[in-house]
Amino acid sequence: MHIPDGLMDPLVAAAGWIEFLVVLGTAIFLSRSKIRERNLPRVAILSAGIFVAQMLNFPIGGGTTGHLIGAALFAVMVGPVLAVIGMTVVLLIQALMFGDGGVSALGLNALNMAIVAPLVGWGVYTLTDPIVNGQRRIGRGISVALAAWASVFVAAGACAGELLVSYAISGGDYGIAANVSVPAMLGYHAVIGIGEAAITVGLVSYLFIISPELFSAGEPGTAFKGPAKWFTSNTARATAVILIVFALMIPLYIIYASEGRDGLEQTMEEAGTGEGSPLLSAPFSYGETYLQVLLAGIVGFLVVCLAALTILRLLKSPTRRNDPG
């Protein structure tokens, strides 16, 4: 998923850089007390650990292999804020030491793999953990697996979105058409996500057995700081984190809605459809539709959260009464 330079439209790449810098700046500000001098080597060694863990290939089948991304693992271990910083360091090292992933595209790569992936991973883990009873081994396995799979899949979705918007607004100079990018990215990463989930679950359960106390740089609500409970600030934070991921995709839609017309107009002109024909109104409604879809997504997410919350309350209240503690 490492996008090289020159693949994305410059406008999309610039938007990626701006978002990346804003989020990274916020993460550094929020974690300034945590990454004081003494914790700095801890964060660095975790980044190094994730970097090295990425070198481990897992078999997919037919002789092909995939490798861990580790964003969800990072977030589950130390929380979203440190995970954003740590994954950024991993990506910077990959770009500067191996030329793996571009420099102008670093904003987008970081957005996908160092921001969207850990935030989704942590959000999904924190929201599902109390539902599946993350205290037990199986429950924890389910929530970690969901977090790992979702982090890879959503990050791939973001990447596919960037590719198709690049294609649409550049009129075929940059990016990859939607009919290739969406199935290629989502299909491949839906499978890779399974490996990521299996490895992450194995890794977290191993760390639980061997040394649960090791990751003291973590925040409350992560795997090693005890379970999160519904109605705690963690639920609100996880919901906020998922909403931030939605919000991060808004500029992409705005670029598509405003600039995408040029690409479409160009295509229409090439196809012989003149200006002023009824077809030309379509791009506007495309833009509106996409924003509506996005809004619907956010509303839908909130509704699902509320519904889950209500169901959980209904399910949980009798057990709580029976609980002597």
Site for other proteins in 94-113 (CB under 8 A): 95-100, 102-105
**175, 9 contact by CB (below 8 A):** yes
Structure-token pair, residue 160:
């596919």
Alpha helix stretches (DSSP H) within the chain: 10-30, 40-53, 71-78, 80-98, 106-109, 117-128, 137-170, 178-210, 233-270, 282-322
Q: Which stretch binds other proteins (CB under 8 A): 92-100, 223-231, 282-290, 300-308?
A: 92-100
Q: Give whichever of 95 and 120 is closer to other proteins, judged by the CB atom.
A: 95
Instruction: Identify residues 145-184 at the interface with other proteins (CB under 8 A).
Output: 163, 170, 172-177, 179-181, 184
Q: Give whichever of 61 and 318 is closer to other proteins, judged by the CB atom.
A: 61
Structure-token pair, residue 286:
């495309």
Q: Which stretch binds other proteins (CB under 8 A): 52-60, 149-157, 235-243, 245-253?
A: 52-60
Q: Which stretch binds other proteins (CB under 8 A): 187-195, 219-227, 241-249, 272-280?
A: 187-195
CA dihedral 265, 268, 272, 276 (to 10 degrees): -60
- CA–CA distance, 152 with 275 (Å, rounded to integer): 42
Identify the residue among 58, 230, 253, 301 touching other proteins (CB under 8 A): 58
Binding mask 208-247 for other proteins (x = CB under 8 A): --xx--xx--------------------------------
Does residue 65 interact with other proteins by CB under 8 A?
Answer: yes
Instruction: Identify residues 267-296 at the interface with other proteins (CB under 8 A).
Output: none
- CA–CA distance, 243 with 314 (Å, rounded to integer): 25
- DSSP label at residue 4: P
